[in-house]
Amino acid sequence: MTEEAARATAPPGLTTGAVARRLGVSPTTLRSWDRRYGLGPEARSAGRHRRWSPADVALVEHMCRLTAGGAPPAEAARVALAQSGNGGPGPAGSPVPVPPAAPLPPDPRSARNTLGAQDSSDSQTSRNLPSSPDSLNSSAPPASPHRRAPAAPVPPVPRRGAAGSGLPLGDVRLECRGLARAAVRLDSARVESGLLEAVGTHGLVGAWEEIMVPTLRAVGRKWASSADRYVEVEHLLSWHVSTALRSAPLLLPRAAVPAGAPPVVLACAPDEQHALPIEALYAALAERGVPCRMLGAAVPVEALLACVRRTGPAAVVLWSQARSTASAALARRLDGLRWGAAGARGRPLVLPAGPGWDRRGVRGFPRCAGLGDAVGLLHGLYAPDGTVRGGFRSG
């Protein structure tokens, strides 16, 4: 069969709009990649409409995976084109070579409102909350001769916030850029690997406050400003964040839990469905050997009270993301619980956490500015032998 006949019998291919929707990038981005780097469709239908073959789509998918790993677009394009002429792009889950990330510096802007903060104005996804790459083989051989040579690439501008993902990320770490791009593409493999790499490299507190929270908030803002679009992106990202938090014990060394140590009870207020922040707190406390009892989302009042009476906890963390779910009366009721023999009765430390709390209603209770602050407070309750410092709070 001649080449002309093969083209005549081949499937028509995808339009640029269809490819953009599939990859989670804008049509303008695809046209820019075609113009700058030669990553465009080889075939055009009658009328000069651009049609993307499976090979064309695979090439830009590989480009997206490379940029999700933190590679600048020009460098990613060179690698994608080179590999398309040398066996094709790697599998979706294959790692992108990047240098080890530097330790995360503290950033009070990101830490604020991640656990126990006051601002409740974020959108639905934010209510779920609380380095430069290697050269990537820039001297690689040229791409397939059937593709036109790309135009001279425009030198990338190293801006941390220019995610190219369509999400309003702002000034964030490089890892957030890759995670946002992968989430918008619904690239589960890359989202999963990016989150696990962040936890393994930076620890739970750093990964949560500097990488997970900014990306979740960006998805929430995008959802709120786009007439309920990107709901699927929020669900996929939230599920993978939860999975990464629960996988943390497999990635990080854990301190031993002292025998007989009273636990910390973690619970969402009744009707509060957003449990990701206390999942992060659970994982961070478990890493430090603090025993916990996780009750999760929307815990009924009587069930929470029964758990406290049965376990005699050192502390109770009550999470509320929205003011409609916060209950100062419940916090005071927990604070009033007592147990033990007369003269040695114990009571829990009650920590109302989350942006839903009106601090005037829970004045006198402890407060935390972020996940790291909460971990420090709760871990500091315990002596090295697992006893609560100074005994239980006397009733």
Question: DSSP for 38-105?
Answer: --S-SEE-TTS-EEB-HHHHHHHHHHHHHHHTT--HHHHHHHHHHHHTTT----TTPPP--PPPPPPP
The count of other CB atoms within 10 Å of the CB of residue 234 is 20
pLDDT of residue 62: 83
Q: Is the pLDDT of residue 299 over 90?
A: yes
Q: Which two tokens stand for residue 77?
A: 């394009």
Span 202-232, pLDDT tens digits = 889 999 999 999 999 888 887 777 766 778 9
Residue 272 clears pLDDT 90, i.e. is over it: yes
pLDDT of residue 323: 93
What tens digit of pLDDT does each residue of 301-326 get?
A: 999 999 999 999 999 999 999 999 99
Q: What is the tens place of the pLDDT at every residue in 133-149?
A: 232 223 333 344 444 44
pLDDT at position 320: 95
Confidence band of 22 (pLDDT split at 50, 70, 90): confident
Segment 101-114 mean pLDDT:
45
Averaged pLDDT, 159-171: 52
pTM for the whole structure: 0.67
Tell me the pLDDT tens digit for each residue of 225-236: 776 677 899 999
